[in-house]
Amino acid sequence: MNCIIIDDEATARAIIGQLCSNVPSLTVLEEFPNAIQAIKYLNQNEVDLIFLDIHMPDFTGFDFIETIKNPPKIVLTTSDANFAIQAFEYDCIVDYLVKPITPERFQKAIQKAETSPVAASSSSASEHVETTSGNDLYVNIDRRLIKIDIPSIYLVEAKGDYILIKTEDKNYTVHSTLKKIEEKLPDSLFLKIHRSYIINVQKIIDIEDNSVLIKKDVIPVSRSNRPELMKRLNLL
């Protein structure tokens, strides 16, 4: 099986690479310190298996899975055992390894990867923001235009070359820029409060110091954007 390793820690990548070298059926094609680089690689190359860390700056392992189209088999590698239940909601994940990883446990993961069926697609990856019409925003997902109800959007977050659109019902990861989607969202509802965040001001639950609470997300407010936010609020 051809595989890649994604982990922001060089030592962790080296350990997994060494474990892979002891398995004749595995060939490590590349190693990546972050998910964005791996996504660019996968746009041009196919692999059978990915060793994926969960906790990485800016773009987590779960963000990565949600972004790629038709993900291959994935073995999660992490120091945190608390995400095991969430992990197995994804058909593509075949095992969950908690660091430090022993050779015996690693071998069991490989056996699972070799015997498990080809992973079904669990990705909501999209290519770009396409157009808007009235209260609808269209995004291109797997060559289909998907309609999003604009008022249902409560947060847009920049993540490298991608943006994460959070709605009342579902999240969408889109290959686009914050600037591009800002141009398509109505000023009456949305405001950029940080270089990485656009919020629906009607969805604000609480404001404290330099942050706002929307749903369960605590979003930072930059000093330069705070005056405009305060103007938009209906203060008593």
CB 119 within 8 A of CB 72: yes
Task: Read off the pLDDT of residues 34-44 as tens digits, 9 standing for 90 and up.
Answer: 998 999 899 88
Q: Which segments within 71-124 are labelled E, that is strand?
A: 73-78, 93-98
Average pLDDT over residues 182-210: 92
To the question of pTM greater than 0.85 for the whole model, the response is no
Domains and CATH numbers, the chain: 2-115 (3.40.50.2300), 125-232 (2.40.50.1020)
Q: Report the C-alpha gap between 202 and 166 in whole angstroms.
A: 14
- Higher model confidence: residue 88 or residue 49? 49
What is the 3 state secondary structure string of 52-82?
A: EECCCCCCCHHHHHHHCCCCCEEEEEECCHH
What average pLDDT is seen over the chain?
A: 86
